Amino acid sequence: MSHEETRSAGDLRNTGLSLKHDRTWDYELDRIVEAVEERDAEKVGLQFPEGLKRSAPGVADDLRKLLPDDTRVLISGQPCYGACDLDTYMMRRTDVFVHFGHSPMKESEKIIYVPLFSNVDVEPIMEQSLEKLEVGDVGLVTTAQHMNLFPEMKEWLTERGFEVHTRKGDDRLTHEGQVLGCNYASADIDADQVLYVGGGKFHPLGLAMEHPEKKVVIADPVNNSVSVADTEKFLKQRYATVHKAMDAEKWGVIFCTKIGQGRWDQANEIVENNDNAYLITMDEVTPDRLRNFDMDAFVNTGCPRITTDDGPQFHKPMLTPGEYEIAVGNKPLDELSFDTFHGTW
């Protein structure tokens, strides 16, 4: 890390993040009340992502004040990390189902998606990112949290002489320029460099893996740091995991039952072609839940981020379907790539 990066990382003065604690999110209660009235709903289900579960009782209280006395408001306690992860049990038992914090993966009349955008100012960090970019063609991507600022980001770069390339990836994505932890199709553009504006290193790492020919510059307005995605450490970790799994005899093949994470055909194909592979179905894939299975290695056909980001926490090697093919010798090692999802349900 350069001196410049050391100094700027964690310096939140220019980011607007200091406002975060006074933050009142727009839960779009009016839109929910309207839907309840329109549908004469008796039961309303609310699903929050992990970071916002603490606000759930407050939002339920506010809603109850606005709704007729006999309307019941239910809160989902299921873990939730994406729009792929709807509480289908609750969805079936409520008349209006509200999913907070993610943009729609698939529209449905029953579901109200309330996106909850970040209020962090992205311009200061984009200004810093100019040091790592060459004026010319550039791709621009961001996450759902910052999507409301996407047109401004684009304009900002254009004003500084860039030719900004953007596209809407595929059906799994709602917006132009949006990326998910499992889908980087929006970066499939005609430019050698891509600017990722958003929090964390995991998304841009996936992006750099998926598009190895492009330089991925990370402008992280949440941690106030600028860097260039480096896949080397990530690749080493994945190669090491694949190597460990090469001696495995008994394989646990995970089929995830979450609505937007099921890859049934892929999971079954593995089991059909390997007598020592067992299909395990589950919703939440955690190290604790797998610990009691006497397997030598696992293949996860659910969320790829569980495999790559949480991989080292599992007691046995956890592989993506593509890595499995390498470990059993069906594909060469140099075909190791990032696992992505391209459909809905």
Residues that bind ligand SF4 (CB under 6 A): 81-82, 84-85, 180-182, 260-261, 303, 305, 341
Of the CA atoms within 13 Å of residue 90, those in its CB half-sphere come to 24
Burial class (CB in 10 A: 0-12, 13-18, 19+), 306: buried
Smaller CB distance to ligand SF4: residue 16 or 79? 79
Distance in angstroms (rounded) separating the CA atoms of residues 139 and 120: 21
Smaller CB distance to ligand SF4: residue 50 or 249? 50
Smaller CB distance to ligand SF4: residue 268 or 344? 344
Smaller CB distance to ligand SF4: residue 48 or 162? 48
Smaller CB distance to ligand SF4: residue 98 or 259? 259
Smaller CB distance to ligand SF4: residue 71 or 186? 186
Nearest residue (beta carbon) to ligand SF4 = 181
Query: What is the smallest separation between the CB atom of 15 and ligand SF4, expressed in angstroms?
Result: 24
Smaller CB distance to ligand SF4: residue 85 or 323? 85
Query: What is the smallest separation between the CB atom of 178 and ligand SF4, expressed in angstroms?
Result: 11
Query: What is the smallest separation between the CB atom of 37 and ligand SF4, expressed in angstroms?
Result: 31
Contact 226, 217 (CB under 8 A): yes
Q: Per this entry, what is the length of the chain?
A: 345
Q: Tokens in use for 307?
A: 């495999």
Tokens 């290193």 belong to which residue?
Answer: 201
Smaller CB distance to ligand SF4: residue 16 or 49? 49
Query: What is the smallest separation between the CB atom of 228 and ligand SF4, expressed in angstroms?
Result: 22
Query: What is the smallest separation between the CB atom of 341 and ligand SF4, expressed in angstroms?
Result: 6
Strands of the sheet containing 251-256, edge to edge, are: 277-282, 251-256, 297-300, 318-319
Query: What is the smallest separation between the CB atom of 117 and ligand SF4, expressed in angstroms?
Result: 17
Query: What is the smallest separation between the CB atom of 302 and ligand SF4, expressed in angstroms?
Result: 7
Query: What is the smallest separation between the CB atom of 313 and ligand SF4, expressed in angstroms?
Result: 16
Smaller CB distance to ligand SF4: residue 27 or 81? 81
Query: What is the smallest separation between the CB atom of 258 and ligand SF4, expressed in angstroms?
Result: 8
